[in-house]
Structures are given as structure tokens and as C-alpha cells.
Chain A
Amino acid sequence: MTRLLQILFFALVVRPVLMVVLGVHVRRRELLPREGPAVIIANHNSHLDTLTLMALYPLRDLHRLRPVAAMDYFLRNRFMRWLAEDLIGIIPVNRVKGAKEGANPLAGAEAALDRGQILILFPEGSRGEAERMAQFRKGIAHLAKARPDVPVTPVFMHGLGKALPKGSFTLVPFNCDVFVGPPLRWSGDIDGFVEAARGAVEALAAEAHVPDWE
């Protein structure tokens, strides 16, 4: 039932909006992982990021896509919880510092990979200021270390932060671009992997025409 609702939501709401109001253009779509387990990492500017990445997949694959998202934000009330967990299918992560000692915040993500799902992860940890890339957190490297055989595909997105930035609920039409890069593998070093992941997304950003937005 929820799966049907999810398919309808993407077919009737998300896709038409992305196609008509926004106009999403993807470069090298064929590099997106077809099968799980796999991880997609992307820069984060807008709530539309998750929806856009999910909408790039066929409707029948939607339930295999699992965005990793902040527990404190998305589970803050019952409606948000339903939207995030049931309709979108997020894996909640506790990003608040001082979480219970010894608990693995990525346990849910690792379990999803073990079930062959495709994770969507934003290593900046937050949308931050739209269209500006922040530092990458180390979570992605810990996940890659825990599941070293899983490919990590870098993606750079531009334009969605202008269409719907943090703090705004009004969608303003802008074209947006999605750039997909070749997958990364665990390199054996936490800091090195974070660096490589950010480098890969930045290399994709260099391809884009990004007009000033100040």
C-alpha cells in the first residue's frame, strides 16, 4: 500500500514538477548504480535533492532507494515521520553529537546495504547555505570502511538550491543539472576517503556552468 502510494507520489507529483517546472538534465546517467548494494553521494542544497535523485530511477526501483537522513529533523513530528519514513523511505541517522557511547549511528545504513539497497547520502550532513558546498563529514568513510566492496558513486547537482533553498517553501523555476561520476572504492584510510569523495564531487562541479547567485 505504501509502496503504491510512493509510486503514485513520484509519478504524479515529483516527476511532473521536475520535468515541467524545473527541467532536470542528467549527464552520464548510465553511471548511476543499477543494482544494490551501492551508495550515491551528492552535494546538498535543497529538499529537492533527494526527490530528484530518486526520480532518476524507474518507478519499480523506488523502494530500493534509501536516503540517509537526519533523525532530529525528519522524525520531529508524526506527519514528518510518515512522510520521511513511509513515503520517501529514509534511513534515520542520529547526527546529534554525544549520541549514546558505543552505538553505531550507521547500523541502519549498513543493514540496508546488506539487503542490497541503494543508499543516497549527503556527506555535507546538512543543506547548509544553498549552492555552497560545505565540509564533508566522516560518516561516508566509516560506511565505506564497514562495507569495502560497495561502490560509492559521486553526484554533483546544481540549481535545486535556487529553486527551493533552505528556509523557503516557495518553488521558483530554475533549470537544474545533475552530473554523475565514476564510482569510488574504499581506499583504506578514513581521511583520505573523505578527501577523495569531496574531490570527486568537486571535479564534477567544475564541469557545470554555475552562474553567480549572491
Chain B
Amino acid sequence: MLGLAPEVWWTLAGIFAVLVAATVLVRLIEGPGDPANPSELASRTRSWWFMVTVFTIAMVTWREVSTVFLALVSFMALKEYLSLIPTRRIDRWVILWAYLAIPVQFYWAHVSWYGMFIVFVPVWMFLFFPIVMALRGETEGFLRAVGTLSWGLMICVFAISHTAMLLALDGVSDHAAGGAGLLLFLVIATQFNDVAQFTWGKLCKGRFIGRIVPSVSPNKTWEGFLGGLLTIAALSAVMGPFLTPMNAAWSALAGALIAVAGFSGDVTMSAFKRDLGVKDASHLIPGHGGILDRVDSLTYAAPVFYHFYFFFFVTEWPG
């Protein structure tokens, strides 16, 4: 609890300062409004307060709490996913087993067992569930059931568990902020990229270049994407040297990569939702939609940033 570096505390304080500023700004733009029936922007901001507070508590207490919190995010994402897609009655037990993969995967992350972490879902679970389903003897809809479960586990469990794996880089980086600094860097860059792309998209309103994939995500414009990318690269260049062992240039590169990955996760999830005919994955977070709507960009950004950092900066794996 007391092991966190001052850089982490300052960064968290900075996030709250941004939230205060955003809340004041929304209030100035929209006026006091009706507290019982808030506008989308107001309820979005209110939800941000809640999420940032929970995230901060999870970060500043113990690493066990942080990891359990990230595992819960993964659980809620997988539950939302499995509730949205068509499933087979006969696979009820298989689905229960799929949930049990979450504590196991996050345990590997917690004990920094990279070898197991990296193969558990893509190899062992990938091979395990199809044979369990086959042994049940029901072949109708088999391929669909296997395919959808595998994709869901990769996105909601494997990809998201990279956030916990960043925390495990504590012993690897000699930077004072350690794993917590890396996770904060990733989460701030990813979430702020969502906001920046949205804001740049609104400001430019597709006036210059236009939409990227209107059939999937009509609100995604080149202006928003490029504006977000440059904003995040600049933000990362400042934030990176403070929170991570990367210098300004590497941090800017990492930020740009996170922006591209975040955009990809967002659009991929949009295609998934559009295929199912739903706008939001659920109504868990007022103003945002479901947990999948909030972590969609993270499902790409977390593994991409982790492996980028791992490749260029982790030269020696301890133990």
C-alpha cells in the first residue's frame, strides 16, 4: 500500500484534477440541468467519477486488490459477451468452465509466470473447450459455439489479463513507478484516446477527409483518429518518462501505437455489436453502455502495449 512511488500518486491526483475540470466544463456548457434526469454528457462524467474512484482504490491499496479488480473487469466483460451472443443449452457447463479460466489466468499474471500466462488461453483453453463440447455429443451449431467461445475468451480474458501482467513487471523495470506506472500509462493513454478521438471527431465533424468505416462505426472519422493519435503521442511523450523507463521519443511511439490499437479495439467491438443488432453491450455504466463498450479499446491496446514494451525494454526476465 505504501510502496507506490510519488509519480503514481501525482498522476492519480492529475486524473482527478482533469475530472474536476471536465465536470466544471460540462456544467458551464449545459447549465445545472435536472439532477434526476441528467444529460448523456453529465451521466457520462458522473460515471467517470465512479470508475476513476474504483480504479484508484484498486491501484493504491495492494497488488492483490489491483489484480482481483482487473479479473472482475474481465469477468464482467465475458459475462456481457456470453449474454449477448447466441449460445447452446447444452454448453451451460462449458460456459461455467470458461468463467473459471479467469481466476487461473489472472493467477499466472499475479505470480509473474510469463510462460504459463502466454499459453494458457491461446493453447490450453483453445484446445480444451472444443473437445469438451464434442464429448457432449451435440454437433449442431458446434463450429459456431467453438468459434464464439474462443474469440470471447481471447478478447475478454486473455487480452484484458495483459493489464494485470503489466503490474507483474514490477521487478523488471528499475523505474520507481514500476508495474503500476506502466499500467497507469496504458490506461490513461487508452481512455484519453477514446475521449480525444471523440472530441476531435466532433470538432472537425468530418469536414476535411471523412469517415473511416461508415458501415461499422459512422462516428469514426479520419480527423478524430489522427487528432486523437497526435494528442496521445504528445501526452505520452510527457507522461512516459515520468511513469515508465521509456524516454520521450519511445513514449510518443508507444502512445501512437496505443491510439491505433485503441481505435482497432473500438471498431472491432462495434462490428461485433452491429452484427448482433445491439447499440450498447449492456446498460451497466450510465452514459457509457456496458463494460465492453468501456474496455473495447483496451482489449487491443493492452496486449499491443504489453508486447511492444516487452520486446524493446524487457531484456532479462527475472526468475
Establish whether residues B141 and A174, one from each chain, have CB atoms under 8 Å apart when the complex forms: no
A172 to B80, CA, bound (A): 13
Establish whether residues B87 and A159, one from each chain, have CB atoms under 8 Å apart when the complex forms: no
Establish whether residues A23 and B79, one from each chain, have CB atoms under 8 Å apart when the complex forms: yes
Contacts of A214 in B (CB 8 A): 86, 88-89, 141
**What per-residue 1/0 map shows which CB atoms of A160-196 lie under 8 Å from chain B?**
0010010010101111100000000000000000000
Contact residue among B87, B93, B284 (Cβ-Cβ distance under 8 Å from A23): B284
Q: Report the minimum CB–CB distance from B151 to chain A (whole Å).
A: 15
Establish whether residues B83 and A159, one from each chain, have CB atoms under 8 Å apart when the complex forms: yes
**What per-residue 1/0 map shows which CB atoms of B278-290 lie under 8 Å from chain A?**
1000111000000
Contacts of A213 in B (CB 8 A): 86-89
Establish whether residues A174 and B82, one from each chain, have CB atoms under 8 Å apart when the complex forms: yes
Nearest residue (CB) in A for B290 is A175
Contacts of B79 in A (CB 8 A): 23, 173-175
Establish whether residues A211 and B282, one from each chain, have CB atoms under 8 Å apart when the complex forms: no
Q: Please report which residues of chain B, range 239-286, place their CB below 8 angstroms from some CB of chain A when the two chains form the complex.
A: 276-278, 282-284
Nearest residue (CB) in A for B90 is A214
How many interface contacts (CB-CB < 8 Å) are there between A and B? 55
B136 within 8 A of A: no
Chain B interface category by residue count:
20 to 34
Q: Please report which residues of chain B, range 55-97, place their CB below 8 angstroms from some CB of chain A when the two chains form the complex.
A: 75-76, 79-80, 82-89, 92-93, 95-96
Main secondary structure of the interface of A (DSSP, over half): loop
From A159, A170, A212, residue with most partner B Cβ within 10 Å: A212
Contact residue among B83, B89, B96, B99 (Cβ-Cβ distance under 8 Å from A175): B83
A60 within 8 A of B: no
Nearest residue (CB) in B for A26 is B283
Q: Report the minimum CB–CB distance from A119 to chain B (whole Å).
A: 28
Q: Please report which residues of chain B, range 82-134, place their CB below 8 angstroms from some CB of chain A when the two chains form the complex.
A: 82-89, 92-93, 95-96, 99
Nearest residue (CB) in A for B72 is A20
Contacts of B284 in A (CB 8 A): 23, 25
Contacts of B283 in A (CB 8 A): 25
**Given A25-B282, A213-B89, list of 20 further CB < 8 A pairs?**
A23-B79, A162-B87, A162-B92, A165-B89, A168-B92, A170-B96, A172-B92, A172-B99, A173-B75, A173-B79, A173-B99, A174-B79, A174-B82, A175-B79, A209-B276, A211-B85, A212-B86, A213-B88, A214-B89, A214-B141
14 residue pairs of the A-B complex, CB under 8 angstroms, read A23-B80, A23-B282, A25-B282, A162-B87, A170-B92, A172-B92, A172-B95, A173-B79, A174-B79, A175-B79, A211-B86, A211-B276, A212-B86, A212-B87
